[in-house]
Amino acid sequence: MALSVETTPIPGLLVARGPVHRDARGWFTEGWQRAKMVAAGLPDFGPVQHNVSSNASRGATRGIHAEPWDKLVTVVHGRVFGAWVDLRAGAGFGATFTLEVEPGTAVFVPRGVGNSYQALADDTVYSYLVNEHWRPDLTYPALALDDPTAAIDWPIPLSQSEISDKDRANPQLAEVTPFVPKQVLLLGGSGQVGRALRRLLPDAVAPTRDELDLTDPAAVEALDLSGHDLVINAAAMTAVDAAETLDGSRLAWRLNAELPAQLARCAAAAGATLVHYSSDYVFDGQREVHDEGEALTPVSEYGRTKAAGDLAVGVAPRHYLLRTSWVVGDGGNFVATMARLADEGRSPRVVDDQWGRLSFADEIAAATLHLVASGAPFGTYNVSQSGEPLTWAGIAREVFALRGRAREDVTPVTTAEYGAGRAMAPRPEHSTLVLDKLRATGYEPADMVEALAGYVSRLDAGRGARSASDEPRDPSTNEGN
């Protein structure tokens, strides 16, 4: 029997079934095997405590409790009847699921889902792994075992069951205060990706620059993450050319390297998940495509600071590093500038020897939430639009065509020609990111040309402000901030 993972009517509640090896000595099964189970679809939830519950007599019933941690429940001896009720705030509040569990079956219970177990045999033992330490001062929702709304069909009538006085006093569903997850902490919420994230996370805590100065190490060190399970860092210094100057370099090292290092240490200490955004500039661009395992080879000061930040984020055991390229979101950007120039009858000169794909901020934000919500394995993921790579000039031609202009009105030039007489940092020749790892999590980015058409059509509706510059702006200097 191969390991399999099944979904249930309660979002995030998963059932894993694996082989049980039996012989004359007894049996053996893997209660938690991170690599196999994460690959099969269980979240990489990072357990920190192992608990064991022994039930002497058939009928012993525990719960229904909605603890503020994730847990993986397995049976060591005997059988249990499990009952789960979604006590999280939202449309699923009150949804139920039941299952008989024996050795070889594991149930992943996301935080906020009430869970209860009734022993179906004497000397039943079940164990569970949790990803936060138990504390005596914790409070969380609980539900009466006989709640008529949940209407759980207990195999052994509750009148014949051993139940604690505490569980007998639990409230009915109508009296339960729903479980509310900790708020997301979003840093850099005023940038391109930050603004896209705020649209998807309207309840996130997103301090302004006046409220939290990210350039001040002491202010960041004083951050209290105890109220946050998830920290998203969309802040960075993104001016590639300015990073080559003394002042620009100092700011870039502070925001792109030191800040993520601080956040990684704080997240690790708090047991929080950290999301951070990287850039194609960590590569020299000599390879035509870049996967997540490629060695970092930055050739600019900006790229070096981003590469240092990538390495620093690895300190946090629970982290997602999303590497992007050529980001386009709200505000001034290359696409908005090309649309304006097309509308004004201008014919720009645009670089035609740098290859890559756009990454729309909305796509990056959606991919971020997908990785977090799906419990995808922690680590580095490339995120951009899909489809065939284009040069900057190729993208400009698409924009011109969408605005009713001839593609030939865009004049292609080399990077050297465009940079003549300018103080420009080196750019990668190839910025195309391999998306296989992201796709393996069940997320498929939209095709670049199709996403570009949608974005350009929204410019007239006020989404994506026009740049004031006549010169094409390189969005790879704005990976979201």
Residue of 204, 296, 197, 303 lying closest to 244 (CA atoms): 303
Residue of 469, 470, 341, 462 lying closest to 395 (CA atoms): 341
Dist. CA 214–CA 210, nearest whole Å: 10
| C-beta of residue 305 within 8 angstroms of C-beta of residue 288 | no
Q: Which residues, listed in sequence order, are joined to residue 124 by a DSSP beta bridge?
A: 55
Q: What is each CA distance from 3 to 17, 72, 85, 110, 178, in whole angstroms?
A: 6, 15, 25, 20, 33
User: Which DSSP symbol is given to 244?
Assistant: G
51 is written with which tokens? 């608990």
Contacts of 216 (CB under 8 A, 6+ apart): none
Helix (H, G, I), strand (E, B) or coil at 26: strand
Q: Which residues are catalytic?
A: 65, 128
Dist. CA 226–CA 473, nearest whole Å: 40
Burial grade of 143 (CB within 10 A; 0-12, 13-18, 19 or more) = buried
Dist. CA 410–CA 216, nearest whole Å: 44
